[in-house]
Amino acid sequence: MNRTQAKRRWLLAAALSTLAACRPAAEVPAEPETETPVPAPPVVEVIAYDFGFESPDAIAGGWVTLRMVNAGAQEHFLSVYRLPDGVSWGRFMDEAIGVFGAVWNAYAAGEASRAETWEALFTELPEWWFSELDFAGGPALTEPGETAETTVYLPPGTYNLECYVKTPEGTWHTELGMMRELTVTGPTAGAQPPAADVTLTLSNYAIGVAGELRAGTHTIAVHSAETPEGFARHDLNLFRLGEGETVEAIVAWMDWMDFAQFRAPAPAYSLGGMEQQSAGRTGYLTVTLEPGHYAWVSEEYGARGMVHEFTIE
Ligand SMILES: [Cu+2]
């Protein structure tokens, strides 16, 4: 290398270093993140099968994502509710489920009319059934082979996991084993629910929709604003309607007091939703929507107008 070449090299290096010094600030590597990330809720997997739940005996509470895998051949859901303090799962089975069974069996045997049976449920079930059960939500009706999840808040306590769809022959899934005790221990530190892009508000008796449902994945907040006058609390089931399938047929099928109804299979494809929540609760569900025709349908209050049909282009 002669002196001229060396000088050119030096000039080039100097020019490059000047350019580097003039880089816009945006290209300077950012400072490392110092904020503590908010922990996502832990995922609790529950396998629903024909007929039972495979789930942990005990979990930590707080915000929890309940993921239900339907490994069965019939639709299942995962209703999750906390028993009153001092009521053990065994006592719950005797005093609530036992009473429900006796009232239902009298109805099935033709010893009581539908109206009398309805009345008997309100008079014979323990008062705490109506006032103290804390319905926390959970994945609603889900087609065999599908997985559905909800993120809900679980305070410590004793819970019941339940699915009461009927078999094609008319037997409650609960009678066949779809009831399971779950113990929830002290809250998980700091877990927060996901951010929602759509909110569905359930009141007496309407579904309020805030936000827009488009093709893709959504996190939907479902807020139960009021306690309905009926047997069940507010819930929402999501269905995809095929050719010729109607919301009217789903609403008729949801009538669990009709012996011929609420038997698997459902009259449309079920994609989860939010099981019953006590008033004041908000739960979150994540769903991926492809183009098609859909409906949100309340189990007990669909006949009172709690349905919402929508189309994804
Ligand atoms: Cu079931």
* pLDDT of 20 higher than 80: no
Give me the chain's average pLDDT, please: 90
Distances in Å between the alpha carbon of 236 and those of 153, 201, 295?
A: 17, 10, 10
Distances in Å between the alpha carbon of 224 and those of 136, 199, 208?
A: 10, 11, 10
* pLDDT of 164 higher than 50: yes
Compute the distance from residue 155 Cα to the ligand 1 centre, in Å. 25
Compute the distance from residue 32 Cα to the ligand 1 centre, in Å. 49
* pLDDT of 34 higher than 70: no
pLDDT value at residue 94: 92
Compute the distance from residue 176 Cα to the ligand 1 centre, in Å. 9
Higher pLDDT, 187 or 121: 121
Instruction: Report pLDDT digits (tens) over 281-310.
Output: 999 999 999 999 999 999 999 999 999 999
Q: In which band, very low, low, confident or very high, does the pLDDT at 30 lie, cut at 50, 70 and 90?
A: low
Instruction: Report pLDDT digits (tens) over 181-211.
Output: 999 998 777 799 999 999 999 999 999 999 9
| Residue in this structure with the two tokens 């609403």, named with its chain if needed | 251
Compute the distance from residue 210 Cα to the ligand 1 centre, in Å. 31
Compute the distance from residue 5 Cα to the ligand 1 centre, in Å. 83
Q: In which band, very low, low, confident or very high, does the pLDDT at 24 lie, cut at 50, 70 and 90?
A: very low
* pLDDT of 250 higher than 60: yes
Compute the distance from residue 167 Cα to the ligand 1 centre, in Å. 8
Compute the distance from residue 195 Cα to the ligand 1 centre, in Å. 30
pLDDT value at residue 10: 42
Note the pTM of the prediction, 2 decimals: 0.87
pLDDT value at residue 187: 74
Q: In which band, very low, low, confident or very high, does the pLDDT at 32 lie, cut at 50, 70 and 90?
A: low
Compute the distance from residue 172 Cα to the ligand 1 centre, in Å. 8
pLDDT value at residue 33: 56
Q: Which CATH number fits domain 43-83+133-312: 3.40.50.300, 3.40.190.10, 2.60.40.420, 3.30.70.270?
A: 2.60.40.420
* pLDDT of 47 higher than 90: yes
Compute the distance from residue 268 Cα to the ligand 1 centre, in Å. 16
* Domain boundaries, given as residue ranges, for the chain: 43-83+133-312
pLDDT value at residue 212: 93
Compute the distance from residue 238 Cα to the ligand 1 centre, in Å. 16
Compute the distance from residue 302 Cα to the ligand 1 centre, in Å. 20
Compute the distance from residue 58 Cα to the ligand 1 centre, in Å. 21
Compute the distance from residue 122 Cα to the ligand 1 centre, in Å. 24
SS3 labels along 126-191: CHHHHHCCEEECCECCECCCCEEEEEEEECCEEEEEECCCECCCCCECHHHCCEEEEEEEEECCCC
pLDDT value at residue 1: 45
pLDDT value at residue 132: 94
Nearest to 266 by CA among 140, 150, 139: 140
Q: In which band, very low, low, confident or very high, does the pLDDT at 179 lie, cut at 50, 70 and 90?
A: very high
Compute the distance from residue 97 Cα to the ligand 1 centre, in Å. 16
| Residue in this structure with the two tokens 């099968």, named with its chain if needed | 49
Compute the distance from residue 174 Cα to the ligand 1 centre, in Å. 7
| Three-class DSSP category at 240 | strand
Instruction: Report pLDDT digits (tens) over 71-118.
Output: 999 999 999 999 999 999 999 999 999 999 999 999 999 999 999 999
In whole angstroms, give the CA distance from residue 4 to residue 8. 6
Compute the distance from residue 218 Cα to the ligand 1 centre, in Å. 26
Nearest to 200 by CA among 150, 144, 165: 150
pLDDT value at residue 37: 75
Compute the distance from residue 76 Cα to the ligand 1 centre, in Å. 4
Sign of torsion over alpha carbons 292, 245, 78, 229: positive
In whole angstroms, give the CA distance from residue 290 to residue 29. 39
Compute the distance from residue 270 Cα to the ligand 1 centre, in Å. 13
